[in-house]
Amino acid sequence: MADVSRKAGSRERVRSYLAAHGLAEGFTEFEQSTKTAQQAAEALGCELGQVVKSLVFEVGDRPVVALVAGDRRADTNAISALLGGGEAHFAKPKAVRDATGYSPGGVSPFDLPADLTVLADASLSRFEIVYPAAGTATSMVRMRLAELLELSGARVAEIAE
Residue 145: predicted pLDDT: 98
Q: Cα Rg for the chain, rounded, in angstroms? A: 14
Q: Which residues contact 147 (CB under 8 A, 6 or more apart)?
A: 21, 23
DSSP for 51-106, please give it: EEEEEEEEETTEEEEEEEETTS-B-HHHHHHHTTSS-EEEPPHHHHHHHHSS-TT-
* CA–CA separation, 77 and 79 (whole Å): 5
Write the CB contacts of 61 (distance below 8 Å, at least 6 apart in sequence): none
Three-point CA angle 14, 91, 158, nearest 5°: 80
Q: Point out which residues pair with 69 in neighbouring strands.
A: 52
Structural domains counted in the chain:
1
Asked whether the whole model's pTM tops 0.85, one would answer yes
SS3 call for 130: strand
Q: Domain containing 13 — which CATH number?
A: 3.90.960.10
Other beta carbons within 10 angstroms of residue 64's beta carbon come to 21
Whole-number pLDDT of residue 5: 43
Distance CA(90)–CA(112), nearest Å, equals 18
Q: How far is CA 143 from the centre of its chain?
A: 13
- Render each residue's pLDDT in the chain as its tens digit; 161 residues: 344 344 458 888 899 999 999 999 999 999 999 989 999 999 999 999 999 999 999 998 899 999 999 999 999 999 999 998 889 999 999 999 999 999 888 899 999 999 999 999 999 999 999 999 999 889 999 999 999 999 999 999 999 99
C-alpha 138/C-alpha 148 separation (Å) is: 19
CB 93 within 8 A of CB 70: no
Distance between CA atoms of residues 128 and 49, nearest Å: 11
User: Which residues constitute the domain of residue 107?
Assistant: 2-157
